[in-house]
């Protein structure tokens, strides 16, 4: 099933899975750290403890490496990547830096994760924009309904989650980006539940701002993530939160008193320093693992495990809350057996880590999980 050596991956990077006899199917909440990320973070922290061993060049070259690895992962230019500690940073950047006027309409689907709701609610208070939510009947949003909502000429922003956090419904970013471009609407994407189980090439579509924390599917430390800002839009945006390293010339620490509020030409103008260097060092190690395995191979493996859950639900009469079609889902599969809460408790007792969301069992496997682990979890859920 895998395009890589699954046994070697588990033994080298996730040894706890065998040692603890643990099955972790909760990557939509927080992902575990590969061994290499633990090692890289520990090594960096040893240098941090003895600062005479940690030159500034090593600190900032680590962040340069982060931007390179992220850009490669999503098909962006390095100049379009700004580092951030979470997804919320990028959504707030969109909410308070996009050129909007009072009365402009901002749309999000209903039932979004709060990180893509509250910044827009606050923008409606502070900037006078009108914030609306697109109905999601039954908890599932579809691309066609979102596009239909764009026909109001006052709509200026569409902000969506690529994959819904609760039930795993996936939106078609290509179709939405085209619809937004045709209508001169800014397109903002929360990618945290999509990137990893799915691959992305922003060079092939018209996304204006994309935000992604790395602590879930990218198997990285808390406090690591990024924001992508489309290059030709970037020059028209000013940071809402101003960092002393967001301006030109600030890399020269011998001339910090030569004050000049001229923004960098890259997305570094939006970075809010000081970033947690050690967390980005850990993220770099995890992203290097992704690139070694192959992002498409990782996505294919997760898709196969998701298919296994979907087919089981369809053949055992268990309600499948997530859309069944591959193109309408990512790595999250939600099922609702007759006694869903009781089945969730049984999973916990059996050592299967998962989530219980909105009355359904949410399973989110990753690149190192096995088909046998999925079979075992499903055998516990079986009515």
What average pLDDT does range 266-271 have in this prediction?
Answer: 97
Query: End of a domain among 243, 264, 291?
Result: 291
Comparing CA positions, the residue from 233, 248, 236 lying closest to residue 177 is: 233
Helices (H), 78-117: 87-97
Q: Does residue 173 belong to any structural domain of this protein?
A: yes
Q: Does residue 37 belong to any structural domain of this protein?
A: no
Q: Does residue 78 belong to any structural domain of this protein?
A: yes
Mean pLDDT of the chain: 96
Q: Does residue 128 belong to any structural domain of this protein?
A: yes
> Please, what's the largest Cα pairwise distance for the chain?
70
Comparing CA positions, the residue from 367, 37, 66, 320 lying closest to residue 197 is: 367
Query: Does 306 lie in the same domain as 268?
Result: no
Query: Does 273 lie in the same domain as 321?
Result: no
Query: Does 107 lie in the same domain as 195?
Result: yes
Query: Does 110 lie in the same domain as 50?
Result: yes
What average pLDDT does range 326-342 have in this prediction?
Answer: 97
Q: Does residue 257 belong to any structural domain of this protein?
A: yes
Pairing status of strand 130-134 against strand 105-109:
parallel
pLDDT band for 1, please (50, 70, 90 cuts): low
Query: End of a domain among 291, 317, 350?
Result: 291
Query: Does 308 lie in the same domain as 281?
Result: no
Tokens matching residue 378? 């499903």
Query: Does 202 lie in the same domain as 299?
Result: no
Which of 138 and 33 is assigned the larger pLDDT? 33
Check which CATH number belongs to the domain holding 322 and give it.
3.90.1150.10
Query: Does 306 lie in the same domain as 196?
Result: no
Query: Does 313 lie in the same domain as 206?
Result: no
Domain that holds residue 23: 6-32+294-381
pLDDT at 55: 87
Are 291 and 73 within 8 A, CB to CB? yes
Query: Does 182 lie in the same domain as 51?
Result: yes
Q: Does residue 1 belong to any structural domain of this protein?
A: no
pLDDT in tens, 43-96: 999 999 999 999 888 999 999 999 999 999 999 999 999 999 999 999 999 999
d(CA 272, CA 225) in angstroms, rounded, equals 12
Tokens matching residue 15? 């040894």
Query: Does 109 lie in the same domain as 173?
Result: yes
pLDDT cut 70: percent of the chain above it: 100
Say if residue 318 is exposed, middle or buried (CB neighbours under 10 Å; 0-12, 13-18, 19+). Answer: buried
pLDDT in tens, 186-227: 999 999 999 999 999 999 999 999 999 999 999 999 999 999
One DSSP character per residue, 293-358 reads H-HHHHHHHHHHHHHHHHHHHHHTT-EE-S-SSGGGB-S-EEEE-TTHHHHHHHHHHTTEE-EEET
d(CA 240, CA 267) in angstroms, rounded, equals 13
Query: Does 127 lie in the same domain as 21?
Result: no
What average pLDDT does range 272-290 have in this prediction?
Answer: 97
Q: Does residue 301 belong to any structural domain of this protein?
A: yes
pLDDT value at 246 more than 80? yes
Query: End of a domain among 291, 311, 344?
Result: 291
Comparing CA positions, the residue from 28, 2, 32, 8 lying closest to residue 20 is: 32
Q: Does residue 102 belong to any structural domain of this protein?
A: yes
Check which CATH number belongs to the domain holding 212 and give it.
3.40.640.10
pLDDT value at 2 more than 80? no
Query: Does 268 lie in the same domain as 195?
Result: yes
């Amino acid at each position: 099933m895998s395009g890589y050596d699954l046994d070697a991956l588990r033994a080298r990077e996730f040894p706890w899975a065998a040692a603890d006899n643990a099955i972790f199917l909760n990557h939509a909440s927080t992902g575990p750290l590969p061994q290499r990320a633990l090692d890289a973070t520990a090594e960096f922290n040893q240098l941090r403890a003895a600062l005479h061993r940690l030159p500034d060049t090593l600190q900032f070259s680590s962040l340069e490496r982060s931007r390179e690895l992220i850009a490669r992962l999503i098909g962006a230019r390095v100049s379009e990547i700004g580092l951030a500690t979470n997804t919320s940073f990028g959504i707030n950047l969109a909410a308070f830096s996009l050129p909007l006027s009072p009365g402009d309409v901002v749309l999000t689907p209903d039932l979004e994760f709060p990180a893509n709701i509250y910044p827009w609610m606050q923008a409606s208070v502070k900037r006078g924009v009108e914030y609306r939510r697109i109905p999601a009947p039954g908890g599932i949003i579809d691309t066609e309904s979102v596009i239909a909502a764009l026909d109001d000429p006052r709509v200026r922003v569409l902000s969506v989650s690529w994959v819904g956090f609760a039930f795993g419904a996936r939106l078609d970013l290509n179709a939405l980006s085209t619809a937004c471009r045709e209508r001169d609407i800014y397109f903002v994407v929360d990618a945290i539940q999509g990137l990893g189980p799915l691959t992305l090439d922003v060079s092939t579509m018209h996304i204006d701002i994309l935000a992604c924390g790395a602590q879930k599917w990218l198997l990285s430390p808390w406090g690591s993530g990024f924001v992508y800002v489309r290059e030709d839009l970037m020059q028209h945006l000013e940071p809402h939160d101003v960092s002393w390293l967001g301006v030109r010339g600030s890399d020269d620490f011998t001339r910090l008193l030569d004050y000049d509020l001229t923004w960098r030409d890259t997305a570094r103008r939006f970075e809010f320093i000081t970033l947690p260097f050690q967390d980005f060092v850990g993220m770099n190690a995890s992203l290097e693992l992704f690139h070694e395995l192959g992002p498409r191979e990782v996505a294919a493996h997760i898709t196969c495990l998701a298919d296994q859950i979907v087919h089981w639900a369809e053949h055992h009469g268990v309600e499948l809350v997530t859309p069944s079609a591959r193109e309408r889902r990512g790595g999250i599969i939600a099922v609702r057996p007759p006694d869903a809460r009781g089945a969730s408790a049984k999973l916990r007792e059996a050592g299967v880590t998962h989530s219980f969301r909105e009355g359904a069992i949410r399973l989110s496997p990753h690149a190192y999980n096995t088909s046998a682990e999925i079979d075992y979890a499903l055998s516990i859920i079986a009515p």
